[in-house]
A = this chain, B = another copy of it.
Amino acid sequence: MTTRTLRKDFSSDNIAGIDPSILASLVAANAGTVHSYGADPYTERLHQQMHALFECPMAVLPVATGTAANAIALATLAKPYQGVYCPSTGHVNTDECGAPEFYSGCKLLALPTPDGKLIPGQVSAAVAFAHAMGVHHVDPAAVTISQATEWGTIYTPPEVRALADEAHGLGLKLHMDGARFANAVAHLGCTAADITWKSGVDLLSFGATKNGALAAEAIVAFDPTLARDLEFRRKRGGHLWSKMRFLSAQLSAYITDERWLHNARNANAVAARLTTGLATLPGVTVLMPVEANELFLAMPAAIIARLRSAGYEFYDWPAPDNVSEPVIRVVAAYDMQLADADGFISAALT
C-alpha cells in the first residue's frame, strides 16, 4: 500500500491540473473531424446543457481564460467613453493588466469595500457624482462584481438582487466575474439561475479553469441578442478557437453530473477544515469569512517561516487597513483532500 504524498502548494487554484473527467472528455472529442469555429456537435451539446443548467435562453461563448471572459463581457456592456464600477480589489481592476479597459475602452471606477463586496448605495452615489460632472466624467454604464470575491466572500441572492436593482434603476448593467462561481454556488446551496439572472445579473463569466478545466471559461449573456456582438469581439480579441470542440468539451464535462459543484464543494471543505484548524492558533486571525476556497490570515512571522521551511507555498498578501501583522492567502485546490489541510495545520503547529 502506497502512501499518498501530502499537497503543499496552497498558492493558487491554478497549480492543479485537469480533472480526470474533463481530460477524458477531451480525449473523446478527438475522434474524427468536425467543422471548425464552433459549428460542431460538442459546442451544440454544451449550449443545450448550459440552457438546462441555467434554466433560460442565453448566449454562451467559450474562451480559454477568465481575463478574456471578463474583458469581452465588459466590452459588450460599455462604450469606449463609458465607465464601469467595480470593487477596488476586483480582479478586473488589479490583476488583468488593463484587459477590461483594452477591450472596452472604458474606465474602471473603483469603489472601496471592507471585504470585496459592494453594498447598495455606493453605485448610486457614484453615479450621482458622475452625472453632475457631465461629459467631463466618463458615462456610467455597468457594474461588475466577483462571485466569490477576491477576499473569498460571497454575495447572497438578495445581496445580488439589491445591487442589480440599483444598477438597473440607474440604467446600468450588472456583470458577474464568476472565476470561482462554482465555489459560490456550492456555498450558497442555490441554483446557478438563482444567483445570476434570477437575481438580476446580465452577463456572467462562468469560470472552470480554477476548478478543474485545462483552460475554459464561458461568457454567458442572459440577453441572447448580445450573442452577435460577443462573437465579433471574441474573434477580434483572438479568442475564437478554430478547434472549438476542445473548449466546448471541457465545459460540457465540467457541468455534466454536477462535476463543477462536486469539485467546488471539495475545495470549500478543505478551506473550511483549514479555517477550523488555524483559527485557534495563537496570534492567527482569520480576516474574512471563509465562504469559498480561500483564507486570508494575519499570522505571526514565525509561523509563516515555519510553514515555508516545511515546504508549504502560499502568497503574502497586502494587509487591509488596521492590520499590522503579516497577511497570507491560502487557497484550497479542487482536488485536495482534507488530509492536505491537516498537514498544513500540523506544520503550522509544530
Report A's interface with B, CB cutoff 8 A: 7, 9, 11-12, 14-18, 23, 26-27, 29-37, 63-65, 67-72, 75, 79-83, 94-99, 101-103, 105-107, 129, 133-139, 209-210, 214-215, 229, 231-243, 246-247, 318, 333
Using known A-B contacts A17-B31, A80-B102, A129-B318, determine if residue A238 contacts B68 with beta carbons closer than 8 Å: yes
Contact between B14 and A32, CB atoms less than 8 A apart: no
How far, in angstroms, from A37 to B247 measured CA to CA in the complex? Answer: 19
Using known A-B contacts A95-B136, A215-B243, A236-B81, determine if residue A15 contacts B30 with beta carbons closer than 8 Å: no
A239 CB contact (under 8 Å) in B34, B229, B238: B238
Contact between B229 and A79, CB atoms less than 8 A apart: yes
Q: Hey, which chain B residues are within 8 Å of A32, CB to CB?
A: 17
Contact between A98 and B239, CB atoms less than 8 A apart: no
- Give, as a whole number of angstroms, the nearest-CB distance from A212 to chain B: 10
Contact between A18 and B242, CB atoms less than 8 A apart: no
Contact between A94 and B137, CB atoms less than 8 A apart: yes
How far, in angstroms, from A336 to B304 measured CA to CA in the complex? Answer: 57
- Give, as a whole number of angstroms, the nearest-CB distance from A309 to chain B: 19
A246 CB contact (under 8 Å) in B18, B75, B83, B232: B18
Closest chain B residue to A67 by CB distance? Answer: B238
Contact between B102 and A242, CB atoms less than 8 A apart: no
6 smallest CB-CB distances across A and B, nearest first, come from A68-B238, A14-B242, A14-B36, A67-B238, A81-B232, A135-B235
How far, in angstroms, from A15 to B244 measured CA to CA in the complex? Answer: 10
Contact between A36 and B17, CB atoms less than 8 A apart: no
Contact between B138 and A237, CB atoms less than 8 A apart: no
- A7, A63, A240, A242 pick with most chain B CB within 10 angstroms: A242
How far, in angstroms, from A16 to B17 measured CA to CA in the complex? Answer: 25
How far, in angstroms, from A135 to B241 measured CA to CA in the complex? Answer: 12
Contact between B101 and A107, CB atoms less than 8 A apart: yes
Q: Hey, which chain B residues are within 8 Å of A231, CB to CB?
A: 135
Contact between B235 and A33, CB atoms less than 8 A apart: no
